[in-house]
Amino acid sequence: MEIRLSRKIVTFLFLIVVLFMYMIYNYHICALPEITQSISNLHFNRTLELYNRHHHIKTIHQVPIITLTGSDAYPKYRFFRQQGLQPIRQLPTALIIGVKKGGTRALLEFIRIHPDVRAAGCEVHFFDKHYSKGFEWYRHHMPLTLDGQITVEKTPSYFITRDAPQRVKLMNPSIKLLVIVRDPVTRAISDYTQAISKKPEMQSFERLVFFNGSQIINTSWGPIKLGIYARFLKRWLVYFPLKQLLFVSGERLIVDPAIELKRVQNFLGIKCVVTEKHFYFNSTKGFPCLFKSERRSTPHCLGKTKGRNHPHIDPAVLQRLRDFYRPFNDQFYHMTGINFGWP
Ligand SMILES: *[C@@H]1O[C@H](CO)[C@@H](O)[C@H](O)[C@H]1NC(C)=O
Ligand SMILES: *[C@@H]1O[C@H](CO)[C@@H](O)[C@H](O)[C@H]1NC(C)=O
Ligand SMILES: *[C@@H]1O[C@H](CO)[C@@H](O)[C@H](O)[C@H]1NC(C)=O
Ligand SMILES: *[C@@H]1O[C@H](CO)[C@@H](O)[C@H](O)[C@H]1NC(C)=O
């Protein structure tokens, strides 16, 4: 009896572990905070139950196992459900594919103000890291949409992922691709600034840029390599015609977000709803801020980490980098038909 009981418990625990691992596998990065939240609720409820039992309280709380589909029941959709409209999850019809540190987060936050745009909350990394999980997995990470709403996802590393163009094409050959680009020199410094904030023992920018104190640029170093946009764009143009890509100027998005947003809305084929009146400029931060967005109805700027102060870089090094990038930039201007005016 004793043995049989413990065997039951072991089997039960084993099933719980398997279920949990399956969920981790299935929902991975995006849903982890949600799972943690549910687990802590679960833990709390269990504690409550024990407490109640100890105090001879008869109310046994129902403990539903992790309600990941709970989001389908958001109250804001109740109205639509009553109308017989069923919100569904759809694969994206537009992607923000890059570039890292180009302003992808800002672009996403700005465009999702639009009532016809729904965006995945975080970078799903489907076409680079999780492709083997399949399109159903990917779709599951998309937000709920109603008829007429478009789904957007942003993962900046898609732009430099070798297999991404082919994979994206396989999903939807007529997908719209948004690329936000910025002067590769400031982009590299921004990339480095982010890296050093996580790893303070990193060597100086000047040391990492060059081979051994020479004047030869180490083009294998990530922050430098990524700025050779033409090289990565070539791969996308093998699979997609230029008209399916929109290039957004990272510089212009900062000084005049409304102009760039107008281009984006035209490109996406949606009404121009996001305009000048949605933005104000915070001169302390040097960044456009929003009067309200999908997440918050009060004025706010992007997170603390955005718009970090860059370290001082030797002007001679900057000049050397500008000279290095010039031919690649020219090539990129030719390919896109846009002169971004980088120095
Ligand atoms: C925990 O209990 C509360 C109320 O007792 C309930 O609303 C909540 O959904 C429960 N959470 C979990 C994960 O069981
Ligand atoms: C860099 O310097 C180290 C020692 O100073 C040397 O061993 C190495 O060969 C140098 N590498 C290059 C690429 O010059
Ligand atoms: C060049 O950069 C790559 C990538 O960061 C690094 O592994 C390599 O050691 C660098 N080469 C030199 C000579 O610094
Ligand atoms: C402007 O930015 C500063 C620094 O980030 C912040 O403290 C302040 O609250 C912002 N002001 C407005 C009106 O958003």
- What DSSP string describes 16-67? HHHHHHHHHHHHHHHHHHHHHHHHHHHHHHHHHHHHHHHTT---PPP--S--
Matching residue, tokens 């990065």: 29
Examine the domain organization and report whether 117 and 264 are in the same domain.
yes
Would residue 63 count as lying in a domain? yes
Q: Ligand 4 centroid vs 285 CA: distance in angstroms?
A: 7
Would residue 113 count as lying in a domain? yes
Res 336: pLDDT: 97
Would residue 78 count as lying in a domain? no
Sign of the Cα torsion 331, 332, 333, 339 reads negative
Examine the domain organization and report whether 54 and 112 are in the same domain.
no
How many domains is the chain partitioned into structurally?
A: 2
> Which SS3 state, helix, strand or coil, does residue 116 take?
coil
Looking at residues 111-121, what average pLDDT do you find? 93
Residue nearest to atom 10 of ligand 4 (CA): 282
Examine the domain organization and report whether 11 and 138 are in the same domain.
no
Count of positions (residues) in the chain: 343
The pLDDT tens digits for 295-321 are 777 788 775 555 567 788 999 999 999
The pLDDT tens digits for 167-209 are 999 999 999 999 999 999 999 999 999 999 899 999 999 999 9
Beta-bridge partner residues of 145 = 88
Examine the domain organization and report whether 37 and 119 are in the same domain.
no
Ramachandran category for residue 341: left, alpha or beta (phi over 0 → left; psi -120 to 50 → alpha): left
Beta carbon of 39 within 6 Å of any ligand 1 atom? no
The pLDDT tens digits for 241-296 are 999 999 999 999 988 899 999 999 999 999 999 998 888 887 777 778 888 776 77
| Residue where one domain finishes, among candidates 73, 106, 129 | 73
Examine the domain organization and report whether 96 and 172 are in the same domain.
yes
Examine the domain organization and report whether 197 and 128 are in the same domain.
yes
Residues 194 and 310: their CA atoms lie apart, in Å, by 9
Would residue 312 count as lying in a domain? yes
Are 296 and 309 within 8 A, CB to CB?
A: no
Examine the domain organization and report whether 49 and 101 are in the same domain.
no
Please state, rounded to an integer, the average pLDDT across all residues of the chain. Answer: 84
Residues 121 and 208: their CA atoms lie apart, in Å, by 34
Beta-bridge partner residues of 89 = 144
Examine the domain organization and report whether 68 and 99 are in the same domain.
no
| Closest ligand 2 atom to Cα of 214 | 14
Residues 74 and 257: their CA atoms lie apart, in Å, by 31
Are 263 and 176 within 8 A, CB to CB?
A: no
Would residue 145 count as lying in a domain? yes
Q: Is 133 a catalytic residue?
A: no
| Residue where one domain finishes, among candidates 73, 103, 122 | 73
Looking at residues 3-24, what average pLDDT do you find? 78
Residue nearest to atom 14 of ligand 4 (CA): 300
Examine the domain organization and report whether 41 and 189 are in the same domain.
no
Examine the domain organization and report whether 65 and 103 are in the same domain.
no
What secondary structure letter does DSSP report for 94? Answer: E
Is 281 or 98 the better-scoring residue by pLDDT? 98
- Both structure tokens of 243: 């008209």
Would residue 284 count as lying in a domain? yes
Local confidence band at 80 (pLDDT 50, 70, 90 cut-offs): low
Res 66: pLDDT: 36
Is 6 or 107 the better-scoring residue by pLDDT? 107
Are 237 and 179 within 8 A, CB to CB?
A: no
Examine the domain organization and report whether 105 and 244 are in the same domain.
yes
Looking at residues 92-107, what average pLDDT do you find? 95
Res 86: pLDDT: 77
CATH number assigned to the domain comprising residue 302:
3.40.50.300
Is 101 or 76 the better-scoring residue by pLDDT? 101
Residue 129, phi then psi, degrees to nearest 5: -100, -35
| Residue where one domain finishes, among candidates 41, 73, 105 | 73
Examine the domain organization and report whether 144 and 32 are in the same domain.
no
Q: Residue 16 is part of which domain span?
A: 2-73
Are 219 and 208 within 8 A, CB to CB?
A: no
* Whether the predicted pLDDT of 48 surpasses 70: no
